[in-house]
Structure 1
Amino acid sequence: MNYTLNQLRVFAKVVENESVTKASEVLHMTQPAVSIQLKKFQDQFEIPLTEIIGKRLYVTEFGRTIAEIAKNILSESEALQYKTKEFKGLLTGTLRIASASTGKYVMPYFLSAFSTSNPNVNLILDVSNKEHVVQGLKNNEIDFALVSVLPTDVEVHEELLVENKLFLISSREKIDSSKPLIFREKGSATRMAMDTYYGEKSRQKSIELTSNEAVKQAVISGLGYSILPLIGIKNELSNGELHIIPTKGLPVTTQWRLIWLKQKKLSPVSEAYLDFLRNHKDEIIREKFDWYDTYEHV
């Protein structure tokens, strides 16, 4: 048997995505290149790893077993890359974090100094909606997740960071009731907050968009109004493009928190990052998020 690490990597991604097309996108390879590597890997086994039924790719039971072994080999291979530096006393490895979309305004501030102090640590930060972030955590694809609402169907540890305040936002100082209410897509924490706030009230006209950035731009344009996290609209409030509308029951306040699986064995890099976070988070909050207080009693 003469497989390559690249073949293992390709096969693992094909299995993970159950699609050559999606695997090629993730790997930044062409579909033919992925198919060639998949065939070369398959040629080394007498038992099928995958099968095509109709136009859909299915992974066989044997294929899933081989995929697990492939992931372990890739993990060990990654560890080998860092051993020389470890013997020199340098912290090395990869820190994988997934963040709910609005967390992109939060997480970088809690990573910057750690990354600067540990130049041999690779950082992967994936930004998506809450539903996808939590799924990545459940699948043990990441070390930590940044969320504003705790998942209820998985046991996690947490480290609290900063508050997440959501206000009613408009491009004018008063709400134009003829304009529609703009929602995030289902599965996002902002959408959950809006659904909780508005309950079953009738919404004759509404718009649904797939990111807070898209919602923000729609509100700025005068398309409608929405409830948005304060953390993502600092500049727009300062230059007058957006206005907070004082409203009974608002802001909705949650808490940004870093979470990880209770049963997960943390890597040395993950342990080091947690130590850094616990020692420096108060200082980071004072330096980077003191402007929050300006809008405490809007």
Structure 2
Amino acid sequence: MNYTLHQLQIFLKIAELGSITKASEELHLTQPAVSIQLKNFQDQFAIPLTEVVGRKLYVTQFGREIAETAERIINEVNTINYKTLAFQGKLSGRLKISVVSTGKYVMPYFLSGFIKRHDGLELNIDVTNKLKVIECLEQNDTDFALVSVLPEKLEVNAIELMENRLFFVGSSSLRFDKPPTKKKLFEELPLIYREHGSATRNAMENFIENNRFSNLKQIELTSNEAVKQAVIAGLGCSIMPLIGLKNELKNNDLQIIPVKGLPISTTWNLIWLKSKKLSPAALAFIDYIDTEKDAIIKDKFDWISSY
């Protein structure tokens, strides 16, 4: 046996994702490079680690057991690295944060200074929809989550970061002969929604329901960026978080259309399970947020106050 740590890491990722393509994307490697490393790793075992059925890759029972062992080995190696850094007087460990998709416009700015101070930390940010973020938190698979709506069924601690405002937006090419009524905007124009489970979609649906509008022209897209590009292209209008529209508003690609009752205002919260035993890195991050939050908001998000 002469397998390498790199091969263990690659095989573990393939086993987790069930795909060479997805593993190569997450590891930032080419697909051929991942395939070669998988073959080199497989060649060291007389029993198959994977099999292909109907063009889909499956990990065998033996492969799953090897993946479990690989995970333990990699965790032990990480522990060695973290302890080495700790003895050198550096904060070490891994910080994992799950972020709802629009939160990608927020969270990096609250992390940048902290990571620069503690370059021995390993950072993992998972950007996904609200349902998956809450599921990840519930399964204790993350240190923190960034959400704009607090979960109802979980006991969490929370730090309020900043306001999140949602406006009705349309393409800059959209013109009206006179100020449009709510009814015209929400019943005659196509509306673009996020996918089910999105906090932005929930806010949009609640607004429409409370105003008793009946919209039949609906388009559903699965990310904030996709919705934004569709609005710019003139496919329809939407209610969107201001935080992700800075450049588009500045470049006059989008316009905010005034609507009575908007913007909808929520709050970005950094949350974690009350029952979670936080690592030294996680505790240090909480202290950093408490100390630096106001300065970060003033420096990076002052533009929001002009809308």
Q: TM-score range by the shorter chain?
A: 0.7 to 0.9
Residue of structure 1 in register with 2:204 after alignment:
194
Please identify, of 98-107 and 258-267, the stretch whose mean Cα deviation from structure 2 is larger: 258-267
Match of 2:258 among 224, 232, 246: 246
Please identify, of 9-18 and 68-77, the stretch whose mean Cα deviation from structure 2 is larger: 68-77
Match of 1:230 among 228, 242, 259: 242
Task: Measure, in 1, the Cα distance between the counterparts of 2:65 and 2:158.
Answer: 32
Q: Secondary structure in 2 aligned to 1:111?
A: helix
Q: Kindly report the root-mean-square deviation, in angstroms, between the aligned alpha carbons of the 2 structures.
A: 3.2
Q: Residue 32 and residue 213 in structure 1: after superposition, are their counterparts in 2 closer, same or farther (change >3 A)?
A: closer
Match of 2:230 among 207, 215, 218: 218
Residue of structure 1 in register with 2:26 after alignment:
26
Please identify, of 272-281 and 211-220, the stretch whose mean Cα deviation from structure 2 is larger: 211-220
Q: Residue 264 and residue 37 in structure 1: after superposition, are their counterparts in 2 closer, same or farther (change >3 A)?
A: farther
Match of 1:274 among 286, 296, 302: 286
Q: Secondary structure in 2 aligned to 1:83?
A: helix
Amino acid in structure 2 at the alignment position of 1:251? P
Q: Secondary structure in 1 aligned to 2:99?
A: strand
Amino acid in structure 2 at the alignment position of 1:68? E
Task: Measure, in 2, the Cα distance between the counterparts of 1:51 and 1:221.
Answer: 44
Question: Are residues 1:257 and 2:265 paired?
Answer: no
Q: Secondary structure in 2 aligned to 1:204?
A: coil
Task: Measure, in 2, the Cα distance between the counterparts of 1:198 and 1:221.
Answer: 23
Residue of structure 1 in register with 2:76 after alignment:
76
Match of 1:207 among 208, 219, 222: 219
Q: Residue 234 and residue 39 in structure 1: after superposition, are their counterparts in 2 closer, same or farther (change >3 A)?
A: closer
Residue of structure 2 in register with 1:158 after alignment:
158
Measure how far apart 1:183 and its partner are. 1.6
Amino acid in structure 1 at the alignment position of 2:195? E
Deviations 1:233-280 (A, max 9, x none): 245445655443333443222221122344443332222111111222
Q: Secondary structure in 2 aligned to 1:159?
A: strand
Superposition map of 1:283-294 within 5 A: 283-294=295-306
Q: Residue 47 and residue 110 in structure 1: after superposition, are their counterparts in 2 closer, same or farther (change >3 A)?
A: same
**Matched residue count:** 295
Please identify, of 173-182 and 86-95, the stretch whose mean Cα deviation from structure 2 is larger: 173-182
Please identify, of 113-122 and 36-45, the stretch whose mean Cα deviation from structure 2 is larger: 36-45
Measure how far apart 1:192 and its partner are. 2.1
Unpaired segments ≥5 residues, structure 1: none
Q: Residue 54 and residue 109 in structure 1: after superposition, are their counterparts in 2 closer, same or farther (change >3 A)?
A: closer
Task: Measure, in 1, the Cα distance between the counterparts of 2:47 and 2:154.
Answer: 36
Question: Are residues 1:183 and 2:183 paired?
Answer: no
Q: Residue 237 and residue 49 in structure 1: after superposition, are their counterparts in 2 closer, same or farther (change >3 A)?
A: closer
Contact 1:179 1:223 (C-alpha < 8 Å) held by counterparts = no
Please identify, of 167-176 and 180-189, the stretch whose mean Cα deviation from structure 2 is larger: 167-176
TM-score where L is the length of structure 1? 0.81
Task: Measure, in 2, the Cα distance between the counterparts of 1:242 and 1:216.
Answer: 9
Measure how far apart 1:5 and its partner are. 1.1
Please identify, of 221-230 and 51-60, the stretch whose mean Cα deviation from structure 2 is larger: 51-60
Q: Residue 287 and residue 24 in structure 1: after superposition, are their counterparts in 2 closer, same or farther (change >3 A)?
A: closer
Q: Residue 212 and residue 22 in structure 1: after superposition, are their counterparts in 2 closer, same or farther (change >3 A)?
A: closer
Task: Measure, in 2, the Cα distance between the counterparts of 1:42 and 1:153.
Answer: 44
TM-score where L is the length of structure 2? 0.79
Task: Measure, in 2, the Cα distance between the counterparts of 1:87 and 1:219.
Answer: 53
Measure how far apart 1:13 and its partner are. 0.8
Measure how far apart 1:229 and its partner are. 0.7
Residue identity (%): 59
Amino acid in structure 2 at the alignment position of 1:8? L
Amino acid in structure 2 at the alignment position of 1:28? H
Q: Residue 266 and residue 239 in structure 1: after superposition, are their counterparts in 2 closer, same or farther (change >3 A)?
A: same
